């Protein structure tokens, strides 16, 4: 029972990570689209970041108990319980990628406005810098292997996600906290 409980909390942590990345994307997108919005939607963000993973982890736990209650739940012989976790994560990755593209489009429009000075090269340099800063914040690197089957890309996926995913928090902390004079 202890092993299963630890795995449930582990899966919850993984899913919550993806949904908090989605919350970051939603928040930034709302800040760019609705400039004068006094409402911060903090409760909605909490429900998305913690609530949605809770719903799917409870569903996953019930399906594991009913369909595949073997061992420590670390194997996936039946696909059903695994997809209860995988589909919401894929949806969050896809929505976050769409938000990322939308924010890049908004930044490009703002850089092309006549109010922003500079030549084309400096504007593209700012756009490239903004894009590179957003990649770790949005977890865009997860889209690389999001739609591939696990069996075909598992070795490369592990290396890729360990290299980029492990440093994601550090990169975000350095770029948005330590190098930001406002923080």
* Token pair of 88 as six digits: 């919401």
Read off the pTM: 0.74
Q: What is the pLDDT of residues 142-166, one digit of tens each?
A: 766 666 655 555 667 677 667 766 6
- Which pLDDT value is given to residue 93? 87
Q: What is the CA radius of gyration of the chain?
A: 19
Convert the pLDDT of each residue in 69-78 to its tens digit. 888 877 777 7
State the DSSP code for 113. S
Average pLDDT over residues 85-98: 89
User: Sorting pLDDT into bands at 50, 70 and 90, what band is 88?
Assistant: very high
Size (the chain), residues:
183
The structure tokens listed for 23 are 């919350």
pLDDT in tens, 31-45: 778 766 666 678 888
Q: Domains in the chain, please, with CATH?
A: 1-178 (1.20.1070.10)
pLDDT digits (tens, 9 = 90+) for 18-69: 898 888 888 888 877 876 666 667 888 899 999 999 999 999 999 988 888 8
Over the stretch 110-125, which tens digit does the pLDDT of each residue have? 777 666 555 566 666 6
């Amino acid at each position: 029972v202890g092993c299963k409980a630890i795995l449930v909390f582990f899966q919850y942590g993984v899913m919550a990570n993806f949904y908090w990345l989605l919350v970051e994307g939603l928040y930034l997108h709302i800040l760019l689209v609705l400039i004068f919005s006094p409402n911060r939607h903090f409760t909605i963000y909490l429900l998305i970041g913690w609530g949605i993973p809770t719903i799917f982890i409870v569903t996953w736990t019930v399906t594991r108990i009913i369909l595949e209650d073997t061992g420590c739940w670390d194997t996936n012989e039946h696909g059903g319980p695994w997809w209860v976790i995988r589909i919401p994560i894929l949806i969050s990755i896809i929505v976050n990628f769409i938000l990322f593209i939308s924010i890049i489009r908004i930044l490009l429009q703002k850089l092309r406005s006549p109010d922003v000075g500079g030549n084309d090269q400096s504007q593209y340099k700012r756009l490239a810098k903004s894009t590179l800063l957003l990649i770790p914040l949005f977890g865009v690197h997860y889209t690389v292997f999001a739609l591939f089957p696990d069996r075909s890309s598992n070795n490369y996926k592990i290396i890729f996600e360990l290299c980029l995913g492990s440093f994601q928090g550090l990169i975000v902390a350095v770029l948005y906290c330590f190098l930001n004079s406002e923080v």
